[in-house]
Structure 1
Amino acid sequence: MSLSPQVLLSSIARERCIAKLKELPIIFNLKTKQSAAVLVPICVDKGKVCLLYTLRSSKLKNHSGQVSFPGGKMDENETIFDTALRETEEEIGIPKADIDVWSEMPKVIGRNKEVLISPVVGLVKNFDVNKLKPNLDEVEEIFTIPMEVFCDPTNHAHNLYEKNILPIFFNEKHTIWGITGLITHFFLQCFLPENEYKVDFLRKKLTFAELMPAKL
């Protein structure tokens, strides 16, 4: 019951989550050549509260075949919210009118250290998987992961990047890692009850080489 939509998406839970998101520490306060934004989309799929992800097309020059949140680089005169919502509509066909924006999260830096990424948390209202329209030039697959998957420590692992421990989540054929895994973990810390989200990332270690063959 504690992971049900009635509990996790109540007005009280929403405000608590937003307050915690605003208390997250600022890790990266750098000037970079480019800025980007992604949407962290909460949705209810088959009666379960989920996060929505995309699998980037293998046709793309950068980060092909990787799991990510919908998003991209900011256009001139855009806010991070404008970018996250625009890119979401362009990539998977969810119009901004169908997204209840909750809050931004602290910026994270891309792997090449040239892009600062602003995550924006939003709830997809009246989610219907059949209405999604993936841009096949950018998106190979759209999928959701229910909260109980994230709460199961047997789905946890980690890898090291410059001596930093980065969380990994397993979900059937998909592996959530890298910047997307880090954003996911920060969000879940704020969104889920502490007694439900008990992590054990150190239980298993994967190297970068082991992660890459899956093209995720």
Structure 2
Amino acid sequence: MSQTALNLIAISIFLMTLSALLGPLLNISPTIPAIATFTILGIATFDSFSFQGKGGSLILDWIAGFSSEHRDRVIHHEAGHFLVAQLLNIPVTGYTLSAWEAWQQGQPGQGGVIFDDGELASQLEVGKIGAQILDRYCTVWMAGIAAENLVFQNAEGGSDDRRQLAEVLTNLGFTDGNRQQKQRFHALQAKNLLQENWSSYEALVKAMRQRASVAECQSAIESAQLTDNQHN
């Protein structure tokens, strides 16, 4: 069962427990929370087997979207991916900031920056990848976590990024110790790139808040870089 389905089950158990405690005080019939709980469990099970957890992701992301901090974290996280990809010459073709936007565009997961990763995919298919392109993508994958740590002093997102990096490195024969070391190294590389281009990062965050197009986001980055060069 997917992690999303497990999260929905955890929510249903919490609601059932809460209703059992508060029901008598609020004169709520025990039938109502029981029906609600079994409905959520049924949805979670159906979603897990029929939609690979996408429906649950939409629900959980919709609930999280009520938090302004969550929305802000998502923007800063994805801006980290976007900027570092731009700096490392990895083409960005689009971005989404919620599971709903990702679903509308036919993208998996809860949203994110979309890259033109044809070169990486073709090399992975034959099980051989150049060290330079691997390092570039590893840095981009860790850039969202690095951005969150810089802005919020911790990272709540990034589990999919770590999983993707680990899967690629595992397929290439890296040991667990080497994978952990490479993850830390590229997190530091991403952090340094973000700090060195902080005005570009802030300009990109502002553009993404306004749901600017990819071309407009790239223009915002270039304008900030030009201003920095003039001041230097």
Does TM, normalized by the shorter one, top 0.5?
Answer: no
Query: TM (normalized to structure 2)?
Result: 0.22
Larger strand proportion, structure 1 or 2? Answer: 1
Which structure's CA Rg is the greater one? 2
Query: TM (normalized to structure 1)?
Result: 0.24
Higher relative contact order (CA 8 A, sep 6+): 1
Larger helix proportion, structure 1 or 2? Answer: 2
